[in-house]
Structures are given as C-alpha cells and as structure tokens.
Amino acid sequence: MRYAILLAGIGGQGVLFAHNVLAECALAQGFNVTGAETHGMSQRGGSVVSHLKIGDTAAPLIRQGTADFVIAFDAAEAYRALPYLKRSGTLIVNVSPENFPDAQIQPQLDAWAIAVHACDADTIARNLDRASAANVALLGFATTCENFPFTAVALRAAIARIAHPRFTAFNEKAFTEGINACQDSHSAARRASTVTLP
Amino acid sequence: MKQKVVLGNEAIARGLVEAGVNVVTGYPGTPSSEIIPGVIALKKEYALDTYIEWSVNEKVALEVALAASWAGKRAAVTMKQVGLNVASDPLLSAAYTGVVGGFVLIVCDDPGPYSSQTEQDTRLFAIFAKAPVFDPATPRQAKEMTRAAFELSEKYRVPVIVRSSLRVSHARQNISLDALDSTPRAANFKKDTARWAATPRYRLLLHQELNEKLAKIKDEFETSPFNIKFTPTQTAGEPQKQKAKVRKHKFPFGIIGAGVPFATAQELLDELGVQIPMLQIGAVYPLPQKLVNDFIAQRQRVLILEEPDAALELQIDDRSKIHGRLDGTIPNAGELSPEVLEPILTRLLRAAGLLAEPRAANLPAWGAALQNLHLPMRGPRLCPGCGHRSAFYTIRRAFPGAFYASDIGCYTLGTNLRAVDTCLDMGAAITMASGMYQAYRLDGKHKAIVATIGDSTFIHSGVTGLANAVHTGARFVLVILDNSTTAMTGFQPTADQTRLADGTEGARVGIPDLVRACGVKFLRTADPYAMDEFQRVLKQAEQFTQAPDGGVAVIIAERPCVLNDRTPIDEHPIRVEVTDECDGCKYCLVAFECPSLVMNVAKNQVEINHQTCVDCGQCIDSCYKGFIVESKPMTILELAEKVGSGNGLVA
C-alpha cells in the first residue's frame, strides 16, 4: 500500500503544518510515513512544495504523474503542481470554485481524468478573523472529497495533537467551516462516509 | 517501540543523544540547521547535561568538539557541505592524530543545489581526508548510522563522517525512539606529544597508522549491516525468455547504490514490477571492494546510483561493466530526482530485456498548457519590512554605479534590487571589495565600492578580511547588515548577542568592538529605515574612503529581522495605500521590490497586499511621484484586528 499526497503553496501559508497533520494522522492509524519538505532560501516567499508518502517506501519524493492527491493552498501553485497527479488523481485547491480551473487547462484535466475540488479557504479564514487558518479550513474541506484517506474525526484529532493549544478554538472553527463549504450534491454522503486508507 | 514522525535532522539529533553524545557544536547552514535545535530539545526532555554550542564558524566548531573527544568525551560537529571547506584544515589533521572519545561529523550535502553555492560531494572530501563515511538514504538510517559512527570512531580512534543530504535531512519519517546510552565518560586528557602535538617526523608514523586503521575498517565494512544485498525473490513479472537467460548466464542487470537515489530506484522498480539484484552501500568509504566486486562479477551490467558525485563509482577498480556518472549515463549535475532517474532506469531495463516496451499511449504532457497560463514566477525575495531592502534601496540611490560586493545570507537576495554584484562564499564581500579596490587602484581609477555582509557572516569569517583590508590600505564602504540574528537558517543567535544556543546567557562579542579592533577609523551606526539619514551616512563614509588619511569606512545598519522581532514596527505602524493617481509605471516594483506591492493588471495600478504588508511604510519613498501615501491612522478596532490576525502559521 502506498499513498502519495503533494502539498503546494507559498511560504507562510502553513504548508508544513498541514503536512505534519496528515503525517501524524497516518502514523496514528499505524502506517509508515516518508516525506520531504522545503526550507531555507526557497522558503522566503517562494513556492513551497511538500511531499508526503504514506505506506512502505523509503524514497521521500513523489514522482510526477504518481500523486493520489494534490492539496494546493494557492491557485497558481495548484496549476504548477498538476504534473504530479496520477491519472484519475484529485486536486484540492484553495480558490473560489467559480475561478478555477482556467478553461485553457480543462482539456488536460479531462484527459487525465483529474477530479477538481475548489474551496475558498482564504475567505473562510478571513471571516473567522484569522487569515492564517486557511490551511486548516482546506484540510477540513479535503475530508469531504471522495477517496480522501482520512476522516474528519481522525484529522481533527491530529490537528489538536499537533497545533499549539492557543490556536485550538480557531482551528476547530476553521476546520468545521471547511467541511461546511462542501456544497455539492454528494456532500452529505461524503461527510457521513468513513473512507479510510485503501 | 514508540514511534514518532520527525524531520531527518531531528532523527540525527536523536541518534546523537541515543549514542550518549557529551558535546555538540556546529554552525548553521541549510540543510543542516535543525540538528542542534533537535539536540537542545532532547537535552531538555531528558534533563541531560550535554554541552551544545553554535560556534562562530565550522572550523571553530570542529576544533572545540575535537578537543572534547581528545579528553575522552563523545563529541559531534554539524555543518552543511560548504561548511566542511571551512573546517577542512582541522579535519585532515585530525584524521592523522586520531581521536579518543567517539568523534562524529554530521555534514549535509545539497544536491540540486537548493541553498548552496556548490553541489560538492562530502564523500569525496571523506576520501581526500581519509575519514570513514556513512551515507544514509532515510531519516531512520541516518539515526542508526549516527549511533554506529560513534562505535566505529571509538573502536578505531578515527573521526567518522555521517554524510546526510537535503532529502534525508529535510525528509520526514517515523522513527523508533530507542534507549539512551548513559555510560559516564570522564574528561581525562592523556598527554602524548608524539600524537597530539606531532611534528612532521611523527606525522609520517600517524599517516601509516591511519592507513592501517582504514584497512581494518574496510574489512569490517565487508560485513557492515549498512551494506545490504537485495536478491530477487520471484520472477513472476518477467518474460519466459528472460527467465531462461537468467539461469544460463549471469543476471543481466544489477544496481549498486547509496543514499536517496538508491531508495528512489527501489520504489521505481517496485512500481514497474521488476525485481533485480541490488546492493545498497551505506558505508561508502573505505569501500568494501570484495563485496562490490563479487556483486559486479555476477551481473552483465551494473548501474551505480549515488549523488551528488561519483564517490562510490571512483573506488571501483574495474569499471568495464559499470554505468554511472563516469560514462555519462547519469547526469553530472543536478539532483537525481525520480523524474531524472525514471527514463534512465527504464531504458537500461529494456536494454537488458527485463522490461517490456511501453504499451499504453502516453497522456498529454502538461508543459505547454501550463506555460500558456503565465503563472507568476515565485523566486525567493526579501520579506516585506526587511531592513536589508531599505539598506539596499538607499545604497543604490546613493551610489548608482558602484561595485556591490555581497555575501552569504538572506541579503544575497539584494540581487533582486540590483544591489548585489558578487556572492562567492562566507566572508568574501570584504575581500572581494579589497581586491576590486586594488585592481582599480593599479589603473589609477576611482571606483565606488560598497560591500554588504550580515552580522553572523561578519563574525564567521568577515573579521579576518577586514583586518587584512585595513592593514593593506584598501578603501571601500562596508555596510554590516545587523538584523540581530542568523535569519536565513532559522534565527540562531550570533556572537554579537548574549543569548547562547540553549537560551542561557553568554558574553557579547560586540561587532563595533571587533570593527574598531581591526583598526577601522570610520565607524557609524545607522537605522536603514531612516533612509535620508542612512544615505547621509553612506555619503560621509564614501568621502572618508577618498580622504587623504581615509581607508575602510564601516556602517553598521541596525534593524532587527522582521520575522524574528516585529516590536519596532508594531510600536510605530505606518499603514500605506496607493492613491488613485497611480499610473502603473512599475518603478516601485522594480526599485523597491517588496512582495506586498502588487500590480493590478486589470486596473494598471499598483496595490498594497495588506495580507502580507507589515506596515513598515518604507515603500513610500519608492514612488517618486508621491502616489504611495500613509493612510489615515488606524482606529483602535483596526489595530486590534491587525494584531489579532498575527503573521505566523497556525502552529
């Protein structure tokens, strides 16, 4: 079993925190995790990409064309990360659904059978007066997406274990609002589903 | 056994502590910087009495740790790969003298390179220095090898290197938390001048002794648990014809690898459903020749996978069956990423008859379609509110055509403001300025020269260059960009502060005192945020460099790193806005280059991104037309909102 999730964003968006939450969640369910993250010069306002592999592998990097999920905290970074997705992979992106994807890229998305789930996590976070909680809102939204390997319950618990206690209240709210942002017809079924790792 | 997901560098820190290390020193540098904080955290967690220091440079760090080893303590030193260049002098000597307590160097390479000036291979340095080296592929292996390195070092009394790399140090993996070694090791230096103060006559004997040690270590590595053979367990996926071939002849293809590329190949083969014989060499030098030669003898072709250079391949005496970097199969520069390795591996597997030709039609590539979207390029930039930006902006304004020598640190990003012409290595801003001055002086020409260097880098290796410049009569302006921390690598304290690595108090070694002690006669301190005053001081400094009794003029630009200490801005926030008169000329974007100044293409006007803006107000000067202005003062409510929203991550 192997599961590859690529997280993409910009320095300061909390990409590494999201990575740690997902890794912690996988470990708690008894899986090995390996990943790679970006530090140093490439972190100064630049693109931040973090690779997370769940299951038995020793290689930290996800090869292009093999990621099950891309979780992008920024629309431009989402486009940039698309080549990492496998055929029938899923893109979760922090952008208002009406602004994504660009029509020019639609034929490619169709050819690769990529499922796109967009959620304006920035607005959710801003409405909660905490712009930096967008990462947590997007994680909440991710749990409503088909085939996402973690349940909301498990992910919520992982966030609580990792985040600083003084952020708990904000994170709780942001996570719940992220889940509520899933408005499509399957939302109820998805929210109730208990998808776990394949 | 309890498991925990940790960063590779934290796994190494764990390995050090589990080995009962007594002394840990180092100088920060990506990708090695998290090891010492990891040791500090474990010291607190287990209430250990480990001595830990951020030294002023890598040479100093190595020597401090080495002396502790000579006293009988277990000691380690951490650095990035180019740090070993700085520390090479004591390393080569210490290989001859040997050690007493286990002495381990953790050196982190940067294939890519992502945050370094070279892609050099520390394993080649290990061969050059005659120091055994381990090459982990994962954080788990890095922890185990760190522990084993102490055992090896103590058994043979040699310095041992654990060569980590970016994808190990900044990988994140679950590791087991094992028990800590608590063997007491008393400080007890035994005098032996023939060894610890060896003259050249004794050095020959020590060299011979080192060679004997290495021969024994080589024998030990033949059966090292870190050199692992993987034999195909099944041939289910292989074509029938291939099976017959395998039985009659040697297996057509095998891989010998080290480090991350070996793990990458393992995963690729797994995906392809191909099993071939593989040999992982975790103990790279001295190379266990018999193990390697036996493996090669049983295959028709062997691919060597390692990075960033050919340390393993170069040690193989008969390379007639070898593919690797030396025959051009593997590129000689850049990271050996899965994308680079995949086509090489599949081509060789097909050539060996182990992989069928591709059947499925290729999916459309993303490249062209994504190019049409004109995605914003996001290179590294100085942060909004960074004092370096204000300094560079003013330096350019004061001396538009000057030669700008700079150095290693955040301020290398002054290239974005076109205020950095050279960046060579740690401390070179000052020596580049000296040499450039002498070159122009020979021609009888005056050239305005402004060198910029950070506070930590100045103490690391700028001081010696400054002493040299003053002594030899060089004339230039030196701006020491003092942001009160080592910012790029994660806010480690500098010697100019009283805070030590573990938070305790030390003595301050003041930069002004160091500058004066070098004989500098012009020294001013200025806040780069006060641009007009800063420019006035710059001009004064330049005049001093041209005065009859002038010389090097030093300005210390004091402004705390905005990520590390925001109090000065929070106390006097200057909220700015762009007026509706903005004509979209983009001058501010080019000249001031702040990430919070963004172009609204639809309106053809510049806007302030208040999400990232820190209200420093420094950009006001960069619109010479006066369209960037201070907003009306914030209400208490707005101020509360601003403070409440913070600037950090949700963690």
For an interface test with B, give the residue of A34, A70, A129 to mutate (most B CBs within 10 A).
A34
Q: What is the pLDDT of residue A40?
A: 57
| ipTM of this complex | 0.88
Q: What is the pTM (predicted TM-score) of this model?
A: 0.91
Residues B448-485 have pLDDT tens digits of 999 999 999 999 999 999 999 999 999 999 999 999 98
What gap in Å lies between CA B380 and CA A106, rounded to an integer? 30
For an interface test with A, give the residue of B1, B2, B5, B114 to mutate (most A CBs within 10 A).
B5
HSE, CB side, 13 Å, CA atoms: give it for residue B383. 26
Q: What is the pLDDT of residue B639?
A: 66
Average pLDDT value for residue range A138-149: 93
DSSP A57-114: ----SPPTT-EEEEEESSHHHHHHHGGGEEEEEEEEEES-GGG-S-GGGHHHHHHTT-
Residues B258-276 have pLDDT tens digits of 999 999 999 999 999 999 9
DSSP B208-274: HHHHHHHHHHHHHHTT-TTEEEE-----TTS-HHHHHHHHHSSEEEEEEE-HHHHHHHHHHHHHHT-
Phi, psi dihedral angles at B262 (to 5 degrees): -65, -45
Banded pLDDT at A63 (limits 50, 70, 90): very high
Average pLDDT value for residue range B331-340: 95
Percent with pLDDT over 70 in chain B: 94
Fold classification of A2-192 is Pyruvate-ferredoxin Oxidoreductase; domain 3 (3.40.920)
Is residue B193 over pLDDT 70? yes
Mean pLDDT (chain A) is 87
Fold classification of B228-351 is Rossmann fold (3.40.50)
Is residue A192 over pLDDT 50? no
Pairs of CB atoms within 8 A across A/B: 186
The domain locations on chain B are 3-221, 228-351, 387-565, 571-645
Residue A83: list chain B partners with CB under 8 A: 366-367, 370
Percent with pLDDT over 70 in chain A: 88
Q: What is the pLDDT of residue A170?
A: 86
Is residue B501 a contact partner of residue B492, using CB atoms and an 8 Å limit?
Answer: yes
Q: What is the pLDDT of residue B12?
A: 98
User: Which of the four CATH numbers 3.40.50.970, 3.20.20.70, 3.40.50.1820, 3.40.640.10 does domain B3-221 have?
Assistant: 3.40.50.970
Q: What is the pLDDT of residue B235?
A: 45
Task: Say which residue the tokens 């010998």 belong to.
Answer: B256
Mean pLDDT (chain B) is 93
The domain locations on chain A are 2-192
Task: Provide the shortest C-alpha distance from residue B183 to chain A (in Å).
Answer: 32
Structure tokens at B605: 């006007």
Residues A32-49 have pLDDT tens digits of 999 998 765 555 667 889
Is residue A2 over pLDDT 90? no
B171 contacts A46? CB cut-off 8 A: no
Q: What is the pLDDT of residue A57?
A: 85
Which residues, including other chains, have CB under 8 Å from residue B279's CB and lie 6 or more apart? B227, B228, B229, B230, B254, B255, B256, B257, B291, B292, B295
Domain B387-565 has CATH 3.40.50.300: no
Banded pLDDT at B250 (limits 50, 70, 90): confident
Average pLDDT value for residue range B545-559: 97
Are B228-351 and B571-645 in the same CATH fold?
no
Residue B264: list chain A partners with CB under 8 A: 59, 61
Cβ neighbours of B601 (radius 10 Å)? 8
Residue A114: list chain B partners with CB under 8 A: none
Residues B268-302 have pLDDT tens digits of 999 999 999 999 999 999 999 999 999 999 999 99
Q: Which CATH architecture has domain B571-645?
A: 2-Layer Sandwich (3.30)
Residues B207-247 have pLDDT tens digits of 999 999 999 999 999 999 999 999 886 444 444 444 444 44
Residues B59-97 have pLDDT tens digits of 999 999 999 999 999 999 999 999 999 999 999 999 999
Is residue B326 a contact partner of residue B319, using CB atoms and an 8 Å limit?
Answer: yes
Q: What is the pLDDT of residue B67?
A: 98
Q: What is the pLDDT of residue B643?
A: 59
Structure tokens at A65: 């064309």
Percent with pLDDT over 90 in chain A: 68
